[in-house]
Amino acid sequence: MPKFAANLTMLFTEVPFLDRFEAAAAAGFKAVEFLFPYAYPAEQLQEKLQKNGLKLVLCNLPAGDWAAGDRGTAADPRRQEEFRAGVATAVSYAEALGVGQMNCLAGKTVADVSLEEQQKTLVENVRFAADALAKIGRNLVVEHINTRDIPGFFLSTTKQVLDLLAVVDRPNVYLQYDMYHAQRMEGELLGTFTANLAKIAHIQIADNPGRHQPGTGEINYRHVFAAIDKSGYEGYIGLEYVPGEGGTVPTLSWAGEYGYKLS
Domain borders along the chain are 3-257
Half-sphere exposure of 52 (CA within 13 A, CB side): 25
3-state secondary structure of 86: helix
Residue 139 has pLDDT above 90, yes or no: yes
Average pLDDT over every residue of 47-51: 98
Residue 244: predicted pLDDT: 80
Q: What is the pLDDT of residues 145-197, one digit of tens each?
A: 999 999 999 999 999 999 999 999 999 999 999 999 999 999 999 999 999 99
Q: What is the pLDDT of residues 51-89, one digit of tens each?
A: 999 999 999 999 999 999 999 999 999 999 999 999 999
CATH number for the domain running over 3-257: 3.20.20.150
Half-sphere exposure of 253 (CA within 13 A, CB side): 7
Dihedral sign computed on CA atoms, order 21, 25, 27, 32: positive
Q: What is the pLDDT of residues 211-244, one digit of tens each?
A: 999 999 999 999 999 999 999 999 999 999 999 8
Shortest CA distance to 21 belongs to which of 39, 3, 9? 9
Q: In which element (H, E) is residue 84 found? A: helix 80-97
Q: What percentage of the chain exceeds 90 in pLDDT?
A: 98
What does the CA dihedral 145, 1, 243, 217 come to, rounded to 10 degrees?
Answer: 70
Backbone phi, psi, residue 224, to 5°: -60, -50
Residue 257 has pLDDT above 90, yes or no: yes
Residue 245: predicted pLDDT: 80
- Point out the residues that are catalytic: 143, 240
Residue 246 has pLDDT above 90, yes or no: no
Under 8 Å between Cβ of 88 and 125:
no
Under 8 Å between Cβ of 101 and 201:
yes
Q: What is the pLDDT of residues 7-36, one digit of tens each?
A: 999 999 999 999 999 999 999 999 999 999
Under 8 Å between Cβ of 132 and 140:
no
Inter-CA distances, 221 with 46, 54, 206, 250, 258, Å: 32, 25, 9, 17, 9
If you average pLDDT over every residue of the chain, what do you get? Answer: 97
